[in-house]
A and B are shown apart, each in its own frame.
Chain A
């Protein structure tokens, strides 16, 4: 286990290095500069700005500077917002995005599993059809469309929730709903099908024959096995939720990280592009790593390292 984690750690570093290098050269290959604007400043000022941000240096020197800044986790000042460093932007934006992401995942997982289990237990009954119809709708509607619908209905027309911004738990309801519905629907469908399969297996019949309470059978014996496919797609869902927050944060005016990610590319704000990309990819890679470990914990048959693995 320790060896596996150690190996994965070095793999993670190598991946981040490749991502950082690709990002650097791609962003410099794209025409346009962070100092480009419709309104042109005169050449002296332009030169001053370039000197200030070291954009007048040759590319390889800039590359080494960037690599150094990544190694030390100090990305320097933003070009668009010169009073703040990229680190400050990350420190400010990430906790909010993280909060939104975690609540969304919790809501999606809990309600998705509940919905899927209910549908499986009432197979081919009304509840099953209703739950699956709901799930199909949830998968089909993109989260930004749902977000607009939610704001229009629940905030503007009925006035139950505030339409946007991120100030109180009340403000969190609509963005979380918009973001969680898609993953929830996917989890519900997956839970339902694997639950149906598990429930027909012999050990469940055995458990019933022994007279174990049904609730215990479902929670203890069936669900644990039925959840394996759900854990498998958690990695993909996480990536989906993370990227989904970009759009949702913009619609709901949530001061998270998504804005920096998108705006920095439009502004060619090199330090922010580097900072957010490296940070996001590191985070995502780390989460996938965690999913792998959880997978092994849930199913001891899955060996994290194959060398000693024999049945």
Chain B
């Protein structure tokens, strides 16, 4: 075998190995999705959207309570987290820039992004649930918002920095005050990126279970009271999945399927916005 033949052979082996690894990696995703679709679609029916939780054995049981609860928890977290995240990202990109404080905030935010979510749940338990004396939707949403903020903060910071400095200068050169430059020119230039960050942030917290366990806790019944424990798809899924009852397990599959599709959808939409927003 000549040296060239040997190199070609090594090349082929490496190519085959890396392709195989990529296939294995992505295979798990499709495996998970496949199982979810098979079990989840089978468990879907209209009752799920009409009825709330019921003891095992009742035909009229559904997930209405968890679906609405999930929407409230994530919606409230979005209302709290998005403005804070975007404003903090704006500070970093437009005001803090390369100052020590800005770098410190960026570093801390990166650390927060990788913090175990259950730790954030425990923290909210200590500072919100304990003083209030009971679980609440507020506590759950605050925990989710804390997880969401560093994601939105960082994407906002990154996306605003992509807006060319000359565009800012051009607005200043027309006599625009700084807040106008940011709102009219910088935000507009980065809106696709910021929106993507928001969607990815929502998708990230939408699948969280641990921080809800001891903040919003769970409930098997429909409620919209923010000062009460609130059901969520994730915790409901957890409870139903580990139960010994076949009908509860079915509901668990349905919850898993609905939640996964929601998060998958958000991720896809987020990426599409970024893709088409940049193309403009």
The answer to whether A and B interact is: no
A residues sitting closer than 8 Å to B (CB atoms) are none
